[in-house]
Amino acid sequence: MRTSAYLVLIAAFAAACSSKPKVQETAAPTKVEAKTETTTTATKVQVKAEDVKPAHDMTCAKGKDSRVLSVRTKDKGCELAYTKNGQEAVVASGKSGLSHCEASAEKISGKLKGAGYDCK
């Protein structure tokens, strides 16, 4: 009888120590920082010929594919036009002088050269 008393005691102890089944907690939402990259959006602009004067052009070619970067004066500033597949888009502009447009043209031509284009 002593064995059955121990079994009852163990069963009672086990029942007393048991708890409700644990619900798996979901982790709190974590904040994810997205890496952003700033890009310049090309804008198609209609411009009067008398407002824009060519400063210089650069042609980058790779096989039969060619791209043209045109730095132009506009009012007291500049604009940089990029022509690809016959479609021209203004990709940069400045309000004073040509320096911003020329720097942008150098940056774009550097990327084209890195892609195998020959720029002149």
What's the CA gap between 50 and 55, in Å, rounded? Answer: 14
pLDDT by residue, tens only, the chain of 120 residues? 565 655 555 655 555 555 555 555 555 444 544 444 444 455 555 555 555 556 789 999 999 999 999 999 999 999 999 999 999 999 999 999 999 999 999 999 999 999 999 999
Domain that holds residue 61: 49-119
pTM equals 0.56
Look at residue 57 and give its three-state secondary structure: strand
Residue 111 belongs to some domain of the structure: yes
Residue 72 belongs to some domain of the structure: yes
The reported pLDDT for the residue numbered 33 is 47
Residue 23 belongs to some domain of the structure: no
The reported pLDDT for the residue numbered 86 is 93
Q: In the chain, how many domains are there?
A: 1
Residue 43 belongs to some domain of the structure: no
The reported pLDDT for the residue numbered 18 is 54
Residue 9 belongs to some domain of the structure: no
Q: Which residue has the tokens 């052009």?
A: 57
Residue 102 belongs to some domain of the structure: yes
The per-type count for the chain, helices as H runs and strands as E runs, is: 2, 5
Residue 24 belongs to some domain of the structure: no
What's the CA gap between 69 and 59, in Å, rounded? Answer: 6
The reported pLDDT for the residue numbered 96 is 92
Residue 29 belongs to some domain of the structure: no
